[in-house]
Amino acid sequence: QMQLQESGPGLVKPSGTLSLTCTVSGDSINGYYWSWIRQPPGKGLEWIGHFYYGGSPDYNPSLKRRVTISGDPSKNQLSLQMTSVTTADAALYYCARGLYGGSHLDGFHIWGQGTMVTVSS
């Protein structure tokens, strides 16, 4: 049974860089689309972007200039970097997985529990 665990600093300073890791256990990251999704307090879900090993990532146009998503099969990890953060980036951040061998249209089948990020000086 694949499990996803997000981790990273819970507190980031304004204008700083947010760096999160999603560690995958139970299967390889190869063959799946991997997404980062966030939920600001009291608000809805927002897709940040996705990664498929061997392909080019896609990003939410509203975040594209500040976001990088990558994967390391040797560590079975996904990473998210977001630069120039503001208080609007404070949110619960999730990593999520698509279907094995599927397309980017298959949705988000398995989710991690999420990690909360606060932006404050």
Partner 1 sequence: QSLLTQPPSVSGTPGQRVAISCSGSNSNIGRASVSWYQHLPGAAPKLLIYRSDQRPSGVPDRFSGSTSGTSASLAISGLRSEDESDYYCASWDDRLSAWVFGGGTNLTVL
Which residues are at the interface with partner 1 (CB under 8 A)?
35, 44-47, 49-50, 58-61, 94, 96, 99, 104-109, 111-114
Structural contact between residues 98 and 106, judged by C-beta atoms closer than 8 angstroms: yes
DSSP string of 70-91?
EEETTTTEEEEEE-S--GGG-E
Minimum distance of partner 1 from residue 14's CB (angstroms): 25
Smallest distance, partner 1 to C-beta of residue 46, A: 7
For the bound state, the minimum distance from the C-beta of residue 17 to partner 1, rounded and expressed in Å, comes to 22
In three-state secondary structure terms, 105 is helix
Residue among 5 and 16 whose Cβ is closer to partner 1: 5
- Return d(Cα 90, Cα 107) in angstroms, integer: 24
Considering beta carbons, is residue 52 or 59 the nearer one to partner 1?
59
